[in-house]
Structures are given as C-alpha cells and as structure tokens.
Amino acid sequence: MEAVRVYADIHGLSPEAFAEIRQSMPFDQVVYKDRILAVDFEGHYIEVEPFLEAVARLMDADGWGKLDYIDQIDYALTRYVITKGSYTTKEVLVDNVVEGMNQEAGV
C-alpha cells in the first residue's frame, strides 16, 4: 500500500502560472487544461504546503481549489481549500468520507 494519496482540482491558473508551478510541484503526473489543474497522486509522503503557497500566490483573483491529502498509514485526511493569496486546512475523519460515499452509492 502506498503511504499517501493526493487529489486536487484547482481552477484559475493561467498557462504562465502553471509553467511556474510545474517546475516545483511534488507530483509526477497532473492534467492541466483550460486553466484547471487536476492532481491524482499515490506514493510516498510528500510536503504539499509549498505547492499550495505557490498556487495561492499565482492563481487568478477569482481562482479556487481544493486538495485532499490522505495519509493511508495513519488513516487521516487533510482537506486544503485554496483561494487567491491563502489556503485553509481542515482535518476530516476518513470514516465520515467513506460513509458518505457509501450512502451516495446506496451501499
């Protein structure tokens, strides 16, 4: 099992901002199209805060996004909400997320 999973959708990044962020982002594979950056990462522990700071600094004034960092070893999820100039952090119980997904799927 991989140590962490990271999922993100970030809206409002210009091609120039993406080019700058791309040089230092801790993710191997991302999709960037139409000013939207999508991240889907599974692997070793990584530090995402420097990436988030760069995104918040470079995104459009009306840009927004979220990044979920799932620690599969400690069974913890940290949700980052990104806006122009800053981001916030919220710890989410993984069981609550899984239960909500199961209810949506009718399990």
Global pTM value: 0.85
Identify whether the C-beta of residue 19 lies closer than 8 Å to the C-beta of residue 45.
no
CATH of the domain at 77: 3.30.70
Our count of domains for the chain comes to 1
Structural domain of 97: 4-105
- The pLDDT assigned to 97 comes to 56
φ and ψ of 106, to 5 deg: 80, 25
List the beta bridge partners of residue 40: 7
Distance CA 80, CA 65 (A): 8
What is the block-wise mean pLDDT of the chain (107 residues), using blocks of 10 residues?
92 97 90 97 95 97 97 92 98 66 48
